[in-house]
Chain A
Amino acid sequence: AQKITQTQPGMFVQEKEAVTLDCTYDTSDQSYGLFWYKQPSSGEMIFLIYQGSYDEQNATEGRYSLNFQKARKSANLVISASQLGDSAMYFCAMSPNSGYALNFGKGTSLLVTP
């Protein structure tokens, strides 16, 4: 069975600062994918970034980067130059090799302050 752990229920960061949201996972699969989603107060889930288990380089998408440490089974999301609009819930998720559904962590609430 797969398990995703997000240990930070809530985080604060000042505007323009960088912030790291933690995610660790547990799986016996050799091939898997890791995802981060953002959920603003409006409720929709917005895909941010994806990392495959065999990707050697850390994924980056604009201000988002994924710090993938396979041996430590961690996939932390780094948001650089935080903006007020980054205030939201953030979910780490994992896709198993042979299955179809995502396993989600419980989420981290990020608040960006002026």
Chain B
Amino acid sequence: DVKVTQSSRYLVKRTGEKVFLECVQDMDHENMFWYRQDPGLGLRLIYFSYDVKMKEKGDIPEGYSVSREKKERFSLILESASTNQTSMYLCASSLLIAGLYEQYFGPGTRLTVT
């Protein structure tokens, strides 16, 4: 079974802190993603990576950066956390099937910035 793990289920941080969210997948997938989920807005793509050290901005990259030094690990960094970054963060990795990409998700990290 594909497994995507995230370092924390719940996290509380203070405004201005630097925050690291870690994601690890164990199936050698090339592609990894970070999404943010807010009520009534669905999931929105923050960043994705299609190879080690490669990254692409998604729909809402402002205030975030990412790091992918190893294939299995994709980190999301909040350089200076703000209250409007309080949200559920979901990591995913993807497998190519029949020419298109199915994504497998981690359990999510619920981040509260106070």
Interface residues of A (CB under 8 A from B): 9, 31-33, 35, 37, 42-45, 47, 50, 52, 91, 93, 95, 97, 100-102, 104-107
- Looking at chain B's contact residues, is the secondary structure mostly helix, strand, loop, or mixed? strand
Q: Using CB atoms, name the residue of chain B closest to A107.
A: B42
**CB within 8 Å: A-B pair count:** 62
Return chain A residues, CB-CB under 8 Å to B98. 52
B86-113 interface code vs A (CB 8 A; 1 in, 0 out)? 0010101010011111111111101000
Return chain B residues, CB-CB under 8 Å to A33. 100-102
Residues B31 and A100 in contact, CB atoms below 8 Å apart = yes
Chain B nearest CB from A70 CB (Å) reads 15
Q: Which of B44, B100, B104, B105 is within 8 Å of A32, CB to CB?
A: B100
Residues B94 and A43 in contact, CB atoms below 8 Å apart = no
Return chain B residues, CB-CB under 8 Å to A52. 98-100
Chain B nearest CB from A39 CB (Å) reads 8
A95 to B42, CA, bound (A): 15
Interface residues of B (CB under 8 A from A): 9, 31, 33, 35, 40-45, 48, 50, 58, 88, 90, 92, 94, 97-108, 110
Known: A43-B110, A106-B40. 4 other contacts (CB 8 A): A43-B9, A101-B48, A104-B44, A107-B42
Residues B43 and A44 in contact, CB atoms below 8 Å apart = no
Residues B48 and A100 in contact, CB atoms below 8 Å apart = yes
Chain B nearest CB from A89 CB (Å) reads 9
Residues B33 and A101 in contact, CB atoms below 8 Å apart = yes
Return chain A residues, CB-CB under 8 Å to B101. 33, 95, 100, 102
A52 to B40, CA, bound (A): 27
Return chain A residues, CB-CB under 8 Å to B44. 104
Chain B nearest CB from A33 CB (Å) reads 4
Residues A45 and B100 in contact, CB atoms below 8 Å apart = no
Residues A35 and B102 in contact, CB atoms below 8 Å apart = yes
Residues A43 and B45 in contact, CB atoms below 8 Å apart = no
A96 to B44, CA, bound (A): 15
Q: Using CB atoms, name the residue of chain A closest to B33.
A: A101
